[in-house]
Structure 1
Amino acid sequence: MKLLTALRRVTILLAFLLSAVPDLAQVSVTIAQLLQFLKSKQAAKESDADLADRLSSVSLSEQLTSATLSRLLTETSIGPKASEQLQLLAFASVFFPPPRAEVPDVPPPDSAARQRVLFAAVSYVNTTLQLLPDFLATRTTLSFENTLVQTGPRPKATLHLVRGSHREIAYRNGREVADTASTDSGLNTWGEFGPILKTVLADSFMGNVEWARWQTSQTGALLAVFRFTVPQSASHYLIDFCCYQKSEDDPVQYSFHAKPGYRGEIYLDPATGVIDRITLHAELADADPVAISEIAVQYGYVDIGGKSYVCPIQGIAVTEVHNLRMESVDGVGLEKHINIVHFLNYHKFGSTSRILPK
């Protein structure tokens, strides 16, 4: 099993960033603060492009759920560029719990009930996932980066779409078939079909698993959320990164390989143990060239050959890396990459034959 985050950085010459936004630049805010900010900028009639630039420098400390995102878009009526940045904020916030007010007011299960849910999840991963048929699906990836772009007299570091890709993936004999011919550059992940679940459950029981909260799913169902931590000694989270400079005076491009400890959350159907979502956050050292490496996978029911199965429907990968020029010359912070992956067009893999009349 391999959870892979691979990043190929393109060397660019960085000039200098637009002046920093004093009210929300490089800060982490709550959902309530974000709403207040959006309404204030709307009242000030700030342009869509300027608001998008400001939002690109913001990070959230709470999960912006799909329901709350829809409410914010309706209440603020912001433009398309700012709306895109708001949606990227929502994707990147999946690694945090939602605001306390959005957590269902339901008493937590007792210890025995928690154990039953976890055992059901283990049983689900070890048995039900093995019953998946051979199938094909389409993996659609949208890649966003905050690398500087020249859109006027001064370059901007707004998070923007840099590439989109579509490729067919195959699942055969209980495992995803690796695409050795893939030449996708940038941020890549692998392991959404089964391996990530098996590995996290195995790793987490070598670490610590504890109750986190109840949460409402995207379809309105009540989910049991557990928090886990995995020490480096038990970790199978692999990071392969190329390339970075150790100093501006050193022209050598170095690669970085690590197997860090990690933490995350697993969202479960309390009645069946079916996994709705899983998130992973690598525990990296301050001196590492990769500052943040996170993966989240959303599961849902899909139709394959006339039967319903639980499979990945969406993936999110976030990586932030140190860029000497961006940090020391331009002072704009870390180089950020976000991948939004959608799994579509599931169909059974197989062959058919028929006899044609003479």
Structure 2
Amino acid sequence: MHRFSILLIFLFLVNPIGAATRVTVAQLEQFLTSKQAAKQSDGEMADRLVSVQLMEQLTAQTLVRIESEASLGPNTLEQLRLIANSSIFFAPPSGELPNLAVPDQISQQRMLNAAIEYVDGALQRLPDFLAIRTTDSFDNAPQRAGSKHGKPEAELHLVRESRREIAYRNGKEIVDSDSDSGNGQLGSSAFAGFTTKGEFGPVLKTILSDSFKGSVVWNRWQTSESGALVAVFRYVVSKPASHYLVDFCCYQKSRDDPQTFRFRYLAGYHGELYLDPSTGVVDRITLEAELTEDDPVMVSSSAVQYGQVNIGGKRYICPVRGVAVSEVHNLNMELVDKIGPERLINEVRFSNYHKFASTMRILPGDPDAN
């Protein structure tokens, strides 16, 4: 075990920028501990974490514990948070999963039926409301080094923070007139910045509708972020049954051809449904488009975490946060900078829920008006 730990640390230290090191949560924790022992700087540590990708889910509870136990600098913490976000599409380490028996087929079907009833009913019960959607956008586009001949730095870094008010009325999210959200599709777009859509209803209804035309199977028990027990099902949706649109603009086919092209592709997809086993309430959903390395967009994945929010003095289940990950071919980054594909991550937070309602005042008439 000691020899393996030394080998792991060596891989972290020598792995070139752009090449991913896939590790477990335990191995990541080992490396963080070794960093403290070696007294590496915050910048050095963050640089090494750039190439790390987890093969297990770094849960919110474990992330909080790591942050409390390790004295990590702000750059390292940011990279660790991005690693955790990207890991949401995997199962947690087996040691963190509840040791419970797999429910029988009848119980599984009852949970899925409850989820369908919940989604059909919950969206109808939501009042008209307003909320704030805050998006932190990260990418690994190269940042030029300080010296003239220095190599470009390619670590994931914050590009922008955007805030937008969301309006939900008559059972639908009100979107801009140039958006596709109202056409029954969900998806991701890298047309004017990397964005996702559909968190307030279409994503739930569409996934459940599509998945039951494909395959839905039991996966595992898991503990939710709130500490409750959730049942996790894995689903697969084939391309013919899919309503997931990947929309990307723009890309070049070669460096010799300056023409750019738009990529619009209705992709098959798969993911997981996290359900309250007794009520069918959706705790989390994940979605990963089925793309290839030859596609202009190689990765398009998103996850939405739901939770209780207060709207007008009542409790409702609504999105509280989300993450979206995309990898696209960028000829300059791949051929000139030798970095590899462009990687984009959005962290999304939903806050300030409040009821939308019109008000009316009756003013006294002007006695001199007649």
Match of 1:233 among 225, 236, 240: 240
User: Which of residues 7, 11, 14 in structure 2 aligns to 1:22?
Assistant: 14
Pairwise mapping of residues 237-316 of structure 1 onto structure 2 (< 5 A)? 237-316=244-323
Over the aligned positions, Cα root-mean-square deviation in angstroms equals: 1.8
2:133 to 96, 118, 139: 139
Please state whether the residue corresponding to 2:45 is helix, strand or coil: helix
| TM-score (normalizing by structure 2) | 0.88
Amino acid at match of 1:114: Q
How far apart are 1:231 and its partner, in Å?
A: 0.3
Distance 1:105 1:249 in 2: 57
Task: Describe the SS at the equivalent of 1:112.
Answer: helix
> Structure 2 matches for 1:78-93, cutoff 5 A?
78-93=72-87
Secondary structure of 1:147's counterpart equals coil
Please give the secondary structure, in 2, of the residue aligned with 1:108. coil
Report the residue type matching 1:138 in the other structure: I
Work out the CA distance in 2 between the residues paired with 1:151 and 1:331: 15
Q: CA deviation at 1:271?
A: 0.7
Residue 208 of structure 2 is matched in structure 1 by 201
Q: Residue 140 of structure 1 contacts residue 342 of structure 1 at CA under 8 Å; is this kept in 2? A: yes
Contact kept, 8 Å, 1:169 with 1:179, in 2: the verdict is no
Counterpart check, 1:57 vs 2:51: yes
Deviation at 1:150, TM superposition (A): 2.2
Cα distance, 1:285 vs structure 2: 2.2
Query: In structure 2, what is the equivalent of residue 117 of structure 1?
Result: 111
Match among 159, 163, 169 for residue 172 of structure 1: 169
Cα displacement string for residues 173-216 of structure 1 (whole angstroms, at most 9, x for unaligned residues): 11111123799931011100011000000100111000010110
1:317 pairs with 2:324? yes
Deviation, 1:151, is: 4.2
User: d(CA) in 2 for partners of 1:251 and 1:102?
Assistant: 51
Distance (Å, rounded) in 2 between the aligned partners of 1:77 and 1:212: 36
Farther-moved stretch of structure 1 (316-325 vs 227-236): 316-325
Structure 1 residue runs of 5 or longer lacking an equivalent are 1-19
Tell me how far apart the structure 2 counterparts of residues 128 and 323 of structure 1 sit (CA, whole Å): 41
For residues 102 and 227 of structure 1, what CA distance do their matches in structure 2 show?
19
Distance 1:31 1:227, change over 3 A: same
- Contact 2:191–2:248 (8 Å) recurs in 1: no
Task: Give, as a single letter, the amino acid of the residue that structure 2 aligns with 1:85.
Answer: Q
Q: Is the 8 A contact 2:145 2:153 kept in 1?
A: yes
Bigger drift between 158-167 and 23-32 goes to: 23-32
Aligned positions of 1:59-78 closer than 5 A? 59-78=53-72
Q: Deviations over 1:265-308 (max 9, x none)?
A: 01000010000000000000231010100010111111111111
Structure with larger RCO (C-alpha < 8 A, sep 6+): 1
Distance in structure 1 (CA, Å) of the matches to 2:300 and 2:191: 18
Quote how far apart the aligned CAs of 1:21 are. 4.7
The secondary structure found in structure 2 opposite 1:259 is strand
Match of 2:8 in 1: none
Q: 1:348 deviation in Å?
A: 0.8
TM-score (normalizing by structure 1): 0.91
Find the counterpart in structure 2 of residue 161 from structure 1: 158
Deviations 1:79-110 (A, max 9, x none): 11101110111111111110111111111111
Matched, 1:347 2:354: yes
1:327-346 maps to which residues of 2 (within 5 A)? 327-346=334-353
SS of structure 2 residue aligned to 1:320: strand
**How many angstroms apart in 2 are the aligned matches of 1:255 and 1:357?**
59
AA at the equivalent of 1:246: K
Take 1:355 and 1:267, find their aligned partners in 2: how far apart are those partners? Answer: 49
**Counterparts of 1:179 and 1:266 in 2: how far apart (Å)?**
29
Q: Across the two proteins, how many residue pairs are aligned to each other?
A: 339
- Per-residue displacement from partner, 1:16-57 (whole Å, max 9, x unpaired)? xxxx95258512111011111111122111110111111122
Shift of 1:264: 0.1
CA contact (8 A) 2:191 2:249 kept: no
Matched, 1:108 2:102: yes
Please name the residue that 1:11 is paired with. none
Q: Which consecutive residues of structure 2, in runs of 5 or more, have no partner in the other structure?
A: 1-11, 180-189, 366-370
Q: Which stretch has the larger CA shift, 61-70 or 330-339?
A: 330-339
C-alpha displacement at 1:356, in angstroms?
5.0
Larger mean Cα displacement after TM superposition, 53-62 or 276-285:
53-62
CA shift, 1:317, in A, is: 0.7
- Please state whether the residue corresponding to 1:253 is helix, strand or coil: strand
* Superimposed CA distance per residue, residues 66-87 of structure 1 (whole angstroms, 9 cap, x where no aligned partner): 1111122223211111011101
